[in-house]
Amino acid sequence: VKTTEQPIFAKELKRETYQMVINGKSTQAKSGEMATVYNPATGEVIAEVPKANLEDVDLAVEAAREAFDNGKWKRYPVGKRARVLNNIASIMRERFHQLVEMEVMNSGKTISAAQGQVMQAIEDFEFYAGAIVGHCGTVNNVPGQFFNYTQKEPIGVAAQIIPWNYPMMMAAWKVAPAIATGCSIVLKPASFTPITAILLAEICTEAGVPEGVVNVVTGPGATIGTYLTEHKGIDKVAFTGETNTGKDIMAKASETLKRVTLELGGKSPNIVFPDADLEAAVNGSVFGIFYNTGQSCEARSRLFIHEDMYDEFMESFLDKTRKLVVDDPMSEKSHVGAIISKQQLDKIHRYVEGAKEEGATVVTGGHPLKVEGFAEGYWYAPTVITNVTNDMKIAQEEVFGPVVVVMTFTDEKEVIQLANDTKYGLAAAIWAKDQGLIKRVSDRIQAGVVMVNCPFSAFPGTPFGGYKQSGFGRELGIETLDLYTETKSVLSYA
Q: Which residues bind ligand NAD (CB under 6 A)?
A: 161-166, 188, 190-191, 221-222, 225-226, 229, 240-242, 245, 248-249, 263-266, 297, 398, 400, 426, 466, 470-471
Residue 443 class from Cβ within 10 Å (0-12 exposed, 13-18 middle, 19+ buried)?
exposed
Closest CA to 52 of 159, 188, 160: 188
Least separation, in Å, of the C-beta of 191 and ligand NAD?
6
What residues are labeled active site?
263
Least separation, in Å, of the C-beta of 340 and ligand NAD?
8
In the complex with ligand NAD, the residue whose CB is nearer, 173 or 273, is 173
- Determine the Cα–Cα distance for residues 26 and 11; give it in Å rounded to an integer: 14
Q: What is the DSSP letter of 377?
A: S
Least separation, in Å, of the C-beta of 170 and ligand NAD?
6
Report the 10 Å Cβ neighbour count for 6: 9
Least separation, in Å, of the C-beta of 160 and ligand NAD?
10
Q: What is the DSSP letter of 76?
A: S
Q: Are 415 and 304 in contact (CB under 8 A)?
A: yes
In the complex with ligand NAD, the residue whose CB is nearer, 42 or 226, is 226
- Determine the Cα–Cα distance for residues 84 and 129; give it in Å rounded to an integer: 8
Closest CA to 461 of 476, 479, 480: 476
Residue 359 class from Cβ within 10 Å (0-12 exposed, 13-18 middle, 19+ buried)?
exposed
In the complex with ligand NAD, the residue whose CB is nearer, 161 or 407, is 161
Least separation, in Å, of the C-beta of 488 and ligand NAD?
29
Which residues lie below 8 Å from residue 234, measured CB to CB, with a gap of 6+?
Answer: 61, 157, 158, 159, 186, 228, 256, 258
Residue 343 class from Cβ within 10 Å (0-12 exposed, 13-18 middle, 19+ buried)?
exposed
Least separation, in Å, of the C-beta of 414 and ligand NAD?
27
- Determine the Cα–Cα distance for residues 332 and 115; give it in Å rounded to an integer: 10
In the complex with ligand NAD, the residue whose CB is nearer, 87 or 292, is 292
Q: What is the DSSP letter of 267?
A: -
- Region label for 73, one of left (φ > 0), alpha (ψ between -120 and 50) or beta (otherwise): alpha
**Using N-to-C axis directions, what is the helix angle for 195-207 and 167-181, rounded to 10°?**
30
Least separation, in Å, of the C-beta of 240 and ligand NAD?
5
Report the 10 Å Cβ neighbour count for 415: 23
